[in-house]
Structure 1
């Protein structure tokens, strides 16, 4: 699955000529090791995750890592990523803030890799949400332009499958006040 995600993202970045990427919830950097991004900023709430990433990519000057609360301070990047994060946001307020932060962090595209249905997960740290409904209502300048189904869709073998798909949003400003 990591290869599938990397291939999708690397192709997209190359095809769209993306020069800057920010990931909200970068985790331990395992997925990032397969990425081919010209400039990358990883943000996370976990100091431990940030320390792991900083050590792993210490020599790579195209990558930097910072505390999540500082992400808004650096300005918009062309592409904002959310990979395997949304279904871990079990509290409504945190989900709302994260979604607003995610779309505010991007100037051209937002890519989300997550489930998109309403359901309580099998554990207390999983809550599936229909985030596409939120995006349609709360981010009107963003249009869903692609939904890439995961070829490793969730089955009984949960070790090698995922309930997540890719959702690609493009910034398309809406006309306001008749202009």
Structure 2
């Protein structure tokens, strides 16, 4: 774990063709993480390298297989982002929540032909239940503790059956960038959602080696309601 942290600390976080934008965003002060993401999308940024290339393809293969094998009919994603990951998805019914109205409108246009897909602001979640609720590359961007707790509460309360998380699972103090705070989220689940048990951990085949575009310090975690 120390080696991973050292690599992350020494490597700038960039997305495809976004290094200048990311440096500018990191230097700028934002009142909230929601403000950060709205500004990022409004100024032409995307959801980052985790939603593109081989990392996106790995997640899509595994998630589509889980949806098929578990008979999942309804999926909710908390933090849908720009929808590039979603282009690879095979879901019977899907609701994407996000904090950025800019990116939500973009997704509504991008997926306008998919009548079984809808996109809503995160603040509009009101307790609906889904077979599967998901969080992909989001938890380590929740830099405020209160935002993290509310997000996790919604993520788990939204699930009737399964919760799927793609994230790092170690703590840091926010030293990896203005919009990154890694968390050992498993502790939160054990304390606040004990009715969910970890059914499987699916290792990312491209473990982090300093290249943020092609490798990741995240794995997939599938929880099942006991």
Helix, strand or coil at the partner of 1:79:
strand
Q: Which of 103, 108, 112 matches 2:161? A: 108
| Aligned pair partner of 1:33 in 62, 87, 91 | 87
- Using the TM superposition, give the Cα deviation of residue 159 of structure 1 relative to its aligned residue in structure 2, in angstroms: 2.1
1:64-85 per-residue CA deviation (whole Å, 9 max, x = no partner) reads 0111111225x10100000000
Runs of 4+ displaced beyond 6 Å: none
Structure 1 residue 144: deviation in Å? Answer: 0.7
CA distance in 1, matches of 2:107, 2:152: 23
What aligned pairs does 1:29-178 form with structure 2 within 5 A after superposition?
A: 29-73=83-127, 75-119=128-172, 120-172=174-226
Q: Which has the higher contact order (CA 8 A, sep 6+)?
A: 2
Alpha-carbon distance in 1 for matches of 2:103, 2:92: 22
Deviations 1:120-169 (A, max 9, x none): 34211100000001101110110011111101110022221011100000
76-85 or 148-157, which moves further after superposition? Answer: 148-157
Could you tell me which of 20, 25, 28 is aligned with 2:74? 20
The TM-score with structure 2 as length reference comes to: 0.74
Alpha-carbon distance, 1:19 to partner: 0.2
Distance between the aligned counterparts of 1:91 and 1:76, measured in 2?
26
Between the aligned partners of 2:212 and 2:120, the Cα distance in structure 1 is 32
| TM norm structure 1 | 0.93
Q: Secondary structure at the match of 1:90?
A: coil
Whole-angstrom distance in 2 between the partners of 1:40 and 1:71:
14
Q: What secondary structure sits across from 1:14 in the alignment?
A: helix
Aligned length: 171
For residues 224 and 175 of structure 2, what CA distance do their matches in structure 1 show? 29
> 1 or 2, which has the higher helix percentage?
2
Uncovered stretches (5+) of structure 1, i.e. residues with no partner: 173-179
> Contact between 1:121 and 1:128, CA under 8 Å: does it hold in 2?
no
